[in-house]
Amino acid sequence: DIVMTQSPDSLAVSLGETATINCKSSQSVLYSSNNKNYLAWYQQKPGQPPKSLIYWASTRESGVPDRFSGSGSGTDFTLTISSLQAEDVAVYYCQQYYTTPPTFGQGTKVEVK
């Protein structure tokens, strides 16, 4: 299985500041034939299901604010939340869908400082 490792496990950011979450896969999730990274990011607020934010490493889902951005390629990826809002408090997960079984990172908890 591909192991997904996120860092940090938690972070506290002041409102309006930038939160940066890293995700590293144990093997590349870049498919050479189409040059796509099979990497997604999800947001899970307390008591709610996860919500898809970003797929193909950097494509935002419809309706997701543009303060959320994804970057990276191969084995190293980043989710950036610029100008953090109170409603962004959540746990964020990365997930590879390059191969079965699809696997998730352990999650990063984002709080307001």
Interacting residues with other proteins (CB under 8 A): 31, 34, 36, 38, 40, 42, 48-52, 55, 61, 93, 95, 97, 100-107
CB of 40 to other proteins, least distance (A): 5
CB of 102 to other proteins, least distance (A): 4
| Three-class SS state of 97 | coil
By beta-carbon proximity to other proteins, the closer residue of 16 and 100 is 100
CB of 81 to other proteins, least distance (A): 20
The answer to whether residues 90 and 21 touch, using CB atoms and an 8 Å cutoff, is no
- Residue 74 has φ and ψ, to the nearest 5°, of 80, -95
By beta-carbon proximity to other proteins, the closer residue of 69 and 103 is 103
Contacts of 74 (CB under 8 A, 6+ apart): 28, 29, 30, 37
CB of 88 to other proteins, least distance (A): 18
Say if residue 65 is exposed, middle or buried (CB neighbours under 10 Å; 0-12, 13-18, 19+): middle
By beta-carbon proximity to other proteins, the closer residue of 50 and 72 is 50
